[in-house]
A and B are shown apart, each in its own frame.
Chain A
Amino acid sequence: MVGITSYGAYIPLYRMPRIEIAKAWGIAPQGKGERSVANFDEDSLTMAVGSAIDCLRGIDRSKVDGLYFATTTSPYAEKMVSTIGATVLDLDRNTRTLDFTNSLRAGTGALIAAVDAVKAGSLKNILVTGSDTRMAKTQGDMEQTFGDGAAALIVGSTDVAVEIVDSVSISNEMIDVWRPSSEPYVQAWEDRFCFDVGYSKLIPEAASVLLKKHKLGPKDFARVVISGPNVRRQQGMGSALGLVPEQFKDSILPLVGNTGTALPLMMLVEALEDAKAGDNILVLSYSNGCDAILLKVTENIEKIRNRSGIKGQLASKKDLPSYQKYLNFRGLVPKAPAARPDRNPAAAVAMWRHAKDHLALYGSKCTACGTQQYPPQRVCVKCHTKDQRERVRLSDKKLSIFTYTQDNLADCIDPPAVVGVIEFEGGGRAAFDMTDRDPSEVKVGMNVEFTFRKLYFNRGIHNYFWKIRPVR
C-alpha cells in the first residue's frame, strides 16, 4: 500500500480582512473572511520549510529519501530550490530533490509523481511540499482572493495513514490564468470564459473518469477537496458535482485565500484532520486540466494527529496592522532607503562553505568538556581544546531570550529591528533577528523558537537563514 504517512501545514502569522483591502481603495470586497499575508522575510521556500518541519514531527529524517518542492513562485527561475530545502531540513545527501513549477497543479502533480516513485520501488519516503506567494496587482479581485501558505505530505509505503488508491489527469490547453516569466503579477482572461469553458467542464470530467473506474458515486466520499479561485466558485462546483456542503467544506479559501499550488494540498490536510479510518477522499486539483486523486483513510491516521496542521496554523494568527504593511512587505511601493551603509552581498563561496552549518543551523559540542556552542568553534570556548567536537543541530532546540533590543536605526522593512540574544537549550548563546513579533510582547526570559526566513536579496542571490519568533 502506498500513500500518505504524515502531513503538515504552514500559514503565515499575519492575516488581513478582505474588507480592509476594499476600504483602502474604496472598492467592493471580494467576499467575507480574510487572507494570509506572508511576512516580508517569507517566500515559497521558507513557507514550504515551515510546513515540512510540521510534517516531520516525530519522523526520523534519515528515512526521507526524496524532497519534491512545488510552487509557481520559486525564488529562482534557474537554480534548484529543493536542494536548499533538503539542506535546511538536514536530509541525507542522497535525497532525490526535484522542483515542480509553473502550474497550480504542480502540488498534486508532485504528489502523484511521488506515489509513482514509491510504487516503482525507487524511493521509500518522499516529502512533498506545495507552497505559493503569488502576487496580484493592487485593486483587482486577486489581491483580495489570493493568500499565502504551504502544505507538506510524506508519501511512503509503511504505516500508511491515507492510501492513495488511484489518480487520473486531464491536460487542457487554454489561456485562462497565467503569468509570463517576465512579470511578477498573475493575469486572468475574462471570468466567464475561464469558468464556462475550463473550470466547470474539466473538474467534472476528471472526477467522472475516476469515479466510473472505481464504481463510486458522490455519496461515497466523506470529503471532496475542490481547488478553486474563490469560495463562490468552489462551492458552486461542489453543488454541481452533486455533493452536500459538509462534503466540500473548506477553511482555506475563506480564511487564508487561494494559495495556488499549495491550495489542494492544504485543503487535503484540513480534510485529513477530520478524517477517520475507512473514509474515502477525493481531491480535484484544477489548472490547465485537472488531477483527480482517490484516497482511502486507514486506522494509522490516529497516529499522526500531533501536527499543528491547518487547524493549528489557522488559530495562530495576528491581524496585519495595516494595508500599508502589506504593500511594504510585498515591495509594491517605493520605499525610502534607510540612512545606513549598504549590506555587503553574500559571497556564494562562503554560502557553500557554511551551507550545512548555516542552513541546518549546526552548533558544536566539545567532546572534551561537553560544552555546546554556537557558531561551531574549532577551539572550545570553555576548555580551549582544539578540534574535539561533534556537530549538533540547533534549529529544533528550545530557546529563551537572555536580552534584546528594538532598533529603529537598522535597515529593516518592518521596524523596529528586534534582535534577541538567546540561550539554546543545552547551552550556547547567540544573537538572532526576531520576526513575527509584536514589539510590546518581547521580554527578557520569553520563550522563542527558530523559523527559517529570507534575510535579504542582493545581486540576484536570496540569502536565507534562521530567525527567532515567539512560540506559535
Chain B
Amino acid sequence: MGGSIKDRVAIVGMGCTKFGERWDASAEDLIVEAAYEAYEDAGIDPKDINAAWVGTLWGLTGMAASKPLKLNYIPITRVENGCATGSEAIRNAAYSIAAGINDIVLAIGFEKLKDQGYSGLDLPFTASAGGLMDDAAGIAPTTTAPAMFAVMATKYFERYGLSPEEGKRMLARISYKSHKNGALNPKAHFQKEITIEQAMNAPMISWPLGLFDCCGVSDGAAAAILVRADKAKDFRKDPMYLKALQISIGGENRLRDDYDYTHIEEIYQSGIAAYKEAGVTKPREEIGMAEVHDCFSITEAVFMEDLQFSPRGKVREDIESGFFDLDGGLPVQPDGGLKCFGHPIGASGIRMLYEMYAQLQGRAGKRQINNPKLGLTSNLGGEPPGCCISTFLVGGKLG
C-alpha cells in the first residue's frame, strides 16, 4: 500500500444542522445552514474555497452544492457510496489536499428525506438489490432495510445461543445508551431517554428488530472545511487532524456459503487498514471514543466486534456492563448516533466527525468525554454482507 493520510490534512471548521423532521426546511436551507456554520467556524470566506465534494444519495452533479452556495467556477464533485457517502466526500477532499492540488476544500453532505411521505428509505437505484447486479427484471425479495439487518440478529442469536429475550435485551441496551446520549444533544432528532423494557416491548418492525432498534430517518446536512495540516494553526488553535481514512467494499460475501452473517468482513478489513494507517495496535485501549453506523442496534453490536473493541461473540458483556456508555471505557455514539441524532444519508459520515471535533475541542457540553484521545468514525453503505465500510481515525494532536 502507498502512503498514509496521517497528519497531512486537518479539519478547521465544521457545521451541522439540527437533524430531524425539518418540515419547514428545504435541501437548500439545510446546505446553507451547515456550510455557513462551517465557514464561520473556520473563519473563512466562501471565496477562499478551492474545490468542494458534495455527498448525497439523490442528486445531479456538484450543482447540488454550487447552486445553493453560489460557489462559482471551482471544481465540485458529487459522490455517492451509500450510507458512507458523507465520509466519501471527506476522503476525496482530504486526498486532494494531500496531493497538493488544493489548499482549502469544502466537504458537505446532506439529505432531504422527509418529503417522501413515509418513514424508511427510498433508493434512487435498483442495481444490486438483494444481491443481484441487474434487477431491472424486478425479482429481488420483498425486503426493507431493517429486514436485511434483522437477518444478522437472527443468526447472531442462534450462533451464540442467545434466547430471543436475551438477544432483544442486549439490543435494547444499545438503544437505551444511545437515547441517553441523544437526550443531551440539542441537535439530535430524538432527545428523549427510553427504558430497556420500552425498547424490548416496542412494535415489531422486522423480527427481531423492534421500533427502537431502528435509527431515525431524518433531514439534515453537515459540512467540514479541510486544509493542509501544516497550515491548520493559521485557522485555529485546536484543529482536528485526520489519522486514517479507509474504505473497504466487499464483492462476494453475500453469495458465499462460508459467510457467517454474524460479522461484516468489510468492517473488520477497514478497521485493520485504518489501525495500520494510524499506527494503532490496541484499538480497545487506544481509541477514546467512536461514532459507528448504528442504523440498527444489531449493526452497532457487530461493529464493536469487527472493530476489535470486543472479542467475537462477547460484545453482550461489554454492552451490558456499560463499557460503551458515555462514562464507560470506550464511549460509543456520544452524540446519540444514527439511532438518536438521526440519519440523513449523505450527512451522516460528516455528522460523526462533527461530534469527534466537538469532543476533541472540549465543546461537547454535557456529553463531554474526559480526555477523548483518538476518535473513530465508521459508516456502512448498502446491506451486509458485501457492503461499503468507511473507517476514519481523528485526533486533536499531531504525531
- List chain A positions with a Cβ less than 8 A from chain B: 339-341, 343-347, 349-351, 353-354, 358, 373-375, 377, 381-382, 402-412, 416-417, 419, 421, 423-424, 427-433, 444, 455-456, 458, 463, 465
What's the least CB distance linking B171 to chain A, in Å? 14
Q: Which residues of B contact A412 (CB under 8 A)?
A: 142
In the docked arrangement, what's the CA distance between A403 and B149, Å?
A: 11
A407 adjacent to B205 (CB under 8 Å):
yes
* A405-B150 contact, Cβ under 8 Å, with A339-B120, A346-B137, A411-B142: yes
Question: Does B3 sit at the interface, judged by CB under 8 A?
Answer: no
Is B268 an interface position by the 8 A CB rule?
A: no
Residues of chain B lying within 8 A (CB to CB) of residue A341: 116, 118, 120, 122-123
In the complex, given contacts A403-B152, A455-B142, what are 12 additional A-B residue pairs having Cβ atoms less than 8 angstroms apart? A339-B119, A340-B118, A340-B144, A346-B138, A350-B135, A402-B257, A403-B151, A405-B146, A407-B144, A429-B255, A430-B131, A455-B139
Secondary structure type dominating chain B contacts: loop
The answer on a CB contact under 8 Å between A465 and B139 is yes
A342: nearest chain-B partner, CB-CB:
B122
**Closest CB in chain A relative to B32 CB, distance in Å:** 28
- The minimal Cβ–Cβ distance linking B362 to chain A, given in whole angstroms, is 41
Q: Mark B246-277, 1 if CB is under 8 A from A, else 0.
A: 00000010111101010000000000000000
Which residues of B are in contact with A by a Cβ distance under 8 Å? 116-120, 122-123, 126, 130-139, 141-144, 146-148, 150-152, 154-155, 158, 203-207, 209, 252, 254-257, 259, 261
How many A-B contacts if CB must be within 8 Å? 145
Contacts of A429 in B (CB 8 A): 254-257, 259
User: Which residues from chain A contact B142 at a C-beta distance below 8 Å?
Assistant: 407, 410-412, 417, 419, 433, 455
CA distance A375 to B142 in the complex (A): 17
Smallest CB-CB separation from A405: which chain B residue? B150
Docked pose: A28 CA to B259 CA in angstroms? 57
B299 to chain A, nearest CB (A): 14
User: Would you call A347 and B137 a contact (CB within 8 A)?
Assistant: yes
Give chain A residues whose Cβ lies under 8 Å from the Cβ of B150: 405, 407
Q: Is the CB of A381 within 8 A of B138?
A: no
A382 touches B256 (CB 8 A): yes
9 of the cross-chain contacts (CB-CB < 8 Å) are A340-B118, A354-B134, A407-B146, A407-B150, A429-B254, A429-B259, A444-B155, A455-B138, A465-B139
Pick from A339, A341, A358 the residue with the most CB of B within 10 Å. Answer: A341
A-chain residues with CB within 8 Å of residue B148 when the two chains form the complex? 405, 431
Given the known interface contacts A340-B144, A374-B255, the answer about A403 and B137 at a Cβ–Cβ threshold of 8 Å is no
A403–B158 CB distance below 8 A: yes
Q: Is the CB of B255 within 8 A of A373?
A: yes
Closest Cβ of chain B to A462, distance in Å, is 11
- A residues near B122, Cβ cutoff 8 Å: 341
Contact of A419 among B118, B119, B137, B143 (CB under 8 A): B143
Bound-state Cα–Cα, A264 to B141, Å: 36
Rounded to whole angstroms, the CA-CA distance of A409 and B132 in the bound complex is: 22
Partner of B151, one of A374, A416, A419: A419
CB of A375 within 8 A of CB of B257, answer no
Contact A444 B154 (CB under 8 A): yes
CA of A456 to CA of B151, assembled, Å: 24
Question: Chain A residues with Cβ under 8 A from B141's Cβ?
Answer: 419, 431-433
A352: nearest chain-B partner, CB-CB: B137
Q: Considering the chains assembled together, what is the distance between the CA atoms of A430 and B261 in angstroms? A: 12
Cross-chain contact B207 with A428 (CB below 8 angstroms): no
